[in-house]
Chain A
Amino acid sequence: MDNLLCDEVWLSKSANTFEEVISDPVALKSYENEEFEEAFAVCLEKEVLCLPEPDYTKYLHSNNLIFPRCRVIQWFIKCRRRFNLSFGTVFLAFNYLDRFVSICQCNDWEYWMLELLSIACLSIAIKFNEISGLSLHEIQVEGLDYSFQSNVILKMELILLKALGWRLNSMTSFSFAEMLGFDFLEPHHHVKLISRVTDLLVQATLDQKMMEFRPSVVGMSALWCTLDQLFPPTSDTYIAYIMSILNQSQKDDIIKCHKLMETQTSMCVENHHYYCPLSPTTVLLNTHD
């Protein structure tokens, strides 16, 4: 998957400007396009196996879990910075959390349960995706209201693994953005693109309006917004190519998600708040409580 591009083609283009490089996806030889499109189709099929249950957002609402979920998502983000974890790890943890909550629908969720689950999600994501691990004591250093003994966390991890059916290699919005965007750009363009895309993806994770969209849709929309902002001349060509390999339903979802993301982005800039839930419904929910 990471080696979709031919090394020879890549190296021969390294001296060119960004505009010429970004047009590569469209200009690729037919067999390379076919390889990419096949891999992309496989990822879309795989995505379905690792999603939360339908009506997950509604379930969060009815159980007053919107705000607590935001809190633990923010805790994941803090841990990412603190322990220098990859964004891939953090987005896996998001995925495990949402899948478990939608599967094990306890009647009375309490915040300590969500914290215990979050520790287990992050611990498993680290073991799965990082090279070096973290002890269960280190993970609990900061940002939590509760502390748990190691044996309790290990038991939670085992229950989590059973609930997830041991399917840990989830396709997340980050992995789609990584696949579609980062592999097609020269390394010196990565830093700016990645930081912007991941900001959008984290905000989307916190925004309940975005939850109705699949990770692939969110990932592609974030990439679209970022390319529009950073590299406008080449964005249209590239997005047109990606759209050409999708069906109409997927296109409609992306256009809808992209529009919503642009709106939320402008709101975010005005408020100067990052990693905060922007949806007005969150306020109303708290008010009703």
Chain B
Amino acid sequence: MSSQVGVRTRARAALAMEAATASSAQPSSKRKKIYDTNHVAKLSKTPRTSSSSFFIPATVTEIVQERCLSPTSSEIPASCCSSNGSIGLDEDRIKLLDLEVESAQVETSTCNGGQEIERREMKSSSELRENSQEPEPMEINSHRALSKAKAMPTELELEEFFVAAEKDIQKRFQDKYNYDIVKDVPLEGRYEWVQLKP
């Protein structure tokens, strides 16, 4: 059991390392890319989810059985976690492919919002079927395995989001009452602050 925990920790640490390295290299362009891929992911994942709800392909079942001692054991989550880590690189390729598909769809859309959404999903699912034939078997398997796992932002991304939100809240308070709580200093503005000496 402890070894499994170790495996998960290393996988997450590796992902965090990759994210940190990439973000330090080119922060601004990296952010835009992340946004685009996420944007694509949210659309492309819908048909995968719906397709996977019907049945599990034989190949996926084989993979699961190979990696686990028994089908019903609790080790399945561990193997899923580790497989997510190993698929990290392929994930970027898949998202790039989806990005191209996405841009093509947007260019051809002339319908109202509702119908556009439906057609987009239909196209993306058909595109997935076409793409599934082209890549090698390994990519096919990893591609389908992805559809089950939900993405999770890194701790660094979460922390950045929380810090930015806290700053906005403090600034809002500061603007409203023209008082800087952190420095304990009144500011120019609506209220006049008088210091009390007990």
Contacts and interface: CB of A to CB of B under 8 A. Distances in A.
A112 B38 contact: yes
Contacts of A191: none
Contacts of B10: none
Contacts of B39: 111
B153 A112 contact: yes
A277 B169 contact: no
Contacts of B162: 155-156, 159
Nearest to B108: A287
Given A152-B158, A280-B112, A286-B106, A146 B169 contact: no
A144 B150 contact: yes
Given A276-B114, A277-B113, A147 B161 contact: no
Given A112-B153, A277-B114, A287 B106 contact: yes
Contacts of A283: 109-113, 116
Contacts, number: 92
Given A155-B162, A273-B114, A111 B42 contact: yes
B151 A146 contact: yes
Contacts of A162: 166, 169
Nearest to B109: A287
B152 A271 contact: no
B35 interface: yes
Contact of A273 (B109, B115, B158): B115
A163 B169 CA distance: 6
Contacts of A45: none
B109 to A, nearest CB: 6
A287 B158 CA distance: 30
A105 interface: yes
B34 interface: yes
B93 interface: no
Contacts of A144: 150
B58 interface: no
Contacts of A156: 162
B113 A279 contact: yes
Interface string B124-160: 0000000000000000000000000011110001100
Nearest to A108: B31
A271 B42 contact: no
A2 interface: no
A261 interface: no
B168 interface: yes
Contacts of B166: 159, 162
Contact of A278 (B34, B41, B113, B169): B113
A145 B151 contact: yes
Contact of B38 (A111, A147, A280): A111
The residue among B35, B41, B113 with the most chain A CB atoms within 10 A of its own CB is B113
Contact of B150 (A106, A146, A155, A276): A146
B117 interface: yes
B152 A104 contact: no
Contact of A106 (B106, B116, B153, B165): B165
Interface in B35-55: 35, 38-39, 41-42, 45
Contact of B168 (A68, A105, A111, A113): A105
A69 interface: no
A231 interface: no
B153 to A, nearest CB: 5
Interface in A84-137: 103-113, 116
A153 to B, nearest CB: 11
A116 B28 CA distance: 23
B161 A113 contact: yes
Interface of B: 31, 34-35, 38-39, 41-42, 45, 106-107, 109-117, 150-153, 157-158, 161-162, 164-166, 168-169, 172
12 contacts: A110-B35, A111-B42, A147-B150, A271-B115, A273-B114, A273-B115, A276-B114, A278-B114, A283-B110, A283-B111, A283-B116, A287-B106
